[in-house]
Structure 1
């Protein structure tokens, strides 16, 4: 019986395993702050579309575990607003995927992320400041669905809308887990239609799958113990690293 045609390059696994662990922590413990780094990290050794395809089954397992762990903390009213807007973004991503250069998308997301962080640091919101308007939320959430489809980098745009709401950490994490579960589930048919879900990518994904629950379990434990102020500082750090990496990928 022939062996599965998975990727065998050791350099790929040297970056893919830390990327999967980091993605697991972000999916369950720190929203999407660090998770957007996974594809850029893996793209050091494979293309962005291939990295995104390999992560699809892993994301599904992580999303299910995250929903199970935080099932009592969802903000359903916010979820009902976010999900339809995010699906609009995945539809746009499906239609434009073959026309876009992944590096251009990476650069746009990275610049946007760094601008958002600069705005938060230079002009921090007051405690009584209102959350962003819904029209802006709709644009940012659709952008999140689009960038998630192209490079699993949906975290920065959605964070820019939800973070100013100052949700409790568990509510923030739970709500993001539902949002990205639906968004990631909606990608399966388009990814298959685009020819990204081939046997080699899926076999490689299976090889990486055992590392998924490790990252998720670490994230769940942290999310139940971390203080809100530190929680959001870590998200900002993750967004800063993500922004820098995406800008570097886009302009190098």
Structure 2
């Protein structure tokens, strides 16, 4: 049976929940994507978790790009994509040198930063004019690396783009395209590292229908659920998982 691709019912259940959360995020409930790899990393290697989710993300990206392809600022893309390629390269080069404990620690810290930025948002952020290529390179590289190890590249990109006060549609379209290209590029090193074995690809394929349904459901919920109720629950969940991963990461060093 297909579910025998997973090592235990718990592993299958956690993967299903993670795909639902990531799909909801792709549909418009932004913060949920941060729970994907961290949640799965509680029951399997974080590298394996990322490998299972990557093909699922690519399927979701196709849907998102179709919806947002007309709202991309290609000038911003040209500034941040070189850094993303460099970050992916760093992640690829160091993948076999970094233990699961270190990856768990990285994922936990990135998740914690995401929550802290939401709980303590920057005040009086001035709108910036100009490209700031140096910051584009730093944030693009950080996004490429954290996206490679944990599919968690959103915070660095938000740091660069949010002060621009872009039209929300341009902001969304540009970030959608950035991560669609970044995720597609990550397929090459993940394959070269041997992470796309038959078991992981089978696990991912099993999730495809759920991924599409969850992405659609995310858009449906966005129009009906009060953010004041939903997002605090999301941040609390990410925070709890972050603490657990940081603890496990430090303990395993």
Quote the offset at 1:112 in angstroms: 5.3
Aligned with residue 79 of structure 2, among 78, 81, 84: 81
Q: Which moved more, 1:63-72 or 1:108-117?
A: 108-117
Deviations 1:82-108 (A, max 9, x none): 222111100110000111134334434
Trace 1:60-139 onto structure 2 (pairs within 5 A): 60-108=58-106, 110-111=108-109, 114-115=112-113, 118=116, 124-126=122-124, 128-130=126-128, 133-139=132-138
Equivalent pair of 1:24/1:219 in contact (CA under 8 Å) = yes
Quote the offset at 1:133 in angstroms: 4.0
* Distance 1:177-1:191 versus aligned 2 partners, 3 A rule: same
1:192 paired residue number: 191
1:210 paired residue number: 209
Greater per-residue helix proportion: 2
Equivalent pair of 1:24/1:62 in contact (CA under 8 Å) = yes
Quote the offset at 1:117 in angstroms: 5.9
Q: CA–CA distance in 1 between the matches of 2:51 and 2:180?
A: 16
* Distance 1:190-1:9 versus aligned 2 partners, 3 A rule: same
Q: Secondary structure at the match of 1:70?
A: helix
Trace 1:127-206 onto structure 2 (pairs within 5 A): 128-130=126-128, 133-206=132-205
Q: Which moved more, 1:122-131 or 1:75-84?
A: 122-131
* Distance 1:5-1:191 versus aligned 2 partners, 3 A rule: farther
2:41 paired residue number: 43
What do you get for the CA RMSD once the two structures are aligned?
3.2
Deviations 1:211-241 (A, max 9, x none): 1111211234456x59xxx59x94x975675
Question: Normalising to structure 1: TM-score of the pair?
Answer: 0.82
Quote the offset at 1:70 in angstroms: 1.4
Equivalent pair of 1:110/1:244 in contact (CA under 8 Å) = no
Deviations 1:190-212 (A, max 9, x none): 11111110001111111111111
Deviations 1:137-196 (A, max 9, x none): 321221111111112122222223223333343332221111111111111121111111
2:251 paired residue number: none
* Distance 1:111-1:237 versus aligned 2 partners, 3 A rule: farther
Aligned residues between the structures: 246
Q: Which runs of 5+ in 2 are unaligned?
A: 249-253
Q: CA–CA distance in 1 between the matches of 2:90 and 2:71?
A: 30
Equivalent pair of 2:115/2:238 in contact (CA under 8 Å) = no
Aligned with residue 59 of structure 1, among 53, 57, 60: 57
Q: Which runs of 5+ in 1 are unaligned?
A: none
Q: Which moved more, 1:170-179 or 1:190-199?
A: 170-179
